[in-house]
Amino acid sequence: MRICISCRKTYDRNNLFKITKDHKQGIMIQKGMGRSAYICKSAKCYSDSKIKKKLQKALKTFLEPEFIDIFEKEIASYSDQPN
Ligand SMILES: [Zn+2]
């Protein structure tokens, strides 16, 4: 069980998007090794206007402005897949 950084509720990992600050490859979604933050699959959390700030705080890193675009595309592609 992990905590969503937005709503602070606990979820099974299957119900969360994992964002990792990988030691070598930088920010990765659903993969990578390093400090991670989790966001649940409810639209009000992953489309929160403050989500980037919350992620930066949780990952202790600076996220490029393009990150949100990449993140939204990743979420769209994962939502299309059946669980
Ligand atoms: Zn949430």
Q: Where are the domains of the chain?
A: 2-79
Query: What integer pLDDT is reported at residue 83 of this predicted model?
Result: 53
Q: How much distance in Å is there from the Cα of 26 to the middle of ligand 1?
A: 23
Q: pLDDT tens-digit profile of 19-75?
A: 999 999 999 999 999 999 999 999 999 999 999 999 999 999 999 989 989 898 988
Query: What integer pLDDT is reported at residue 78 of this predicted model?
Result: 76
Q: How much distance in Å is there from the Cα of 25 to the middle of ligand 1?
A: 26
Q: How much distance in Å is there from the Cα of 5 to the middle of ligand 1?
A: 7
- List the beta strands (DSSP E) in 2-78: 2-3, 10-11, 16-22, 26-29, 34-40
Q: Write out the two tokens for 29.
A: 């979604």
Grade residue 16 by pLDDT with cuts at 50, 70 and 90.
very high
Its CATH architecture, for the domain 2-79, is: 2-Layer Sandwich (3.30)
Query: What integer pLDDT is reported at residue 76 of this predicted model?
Result: 86
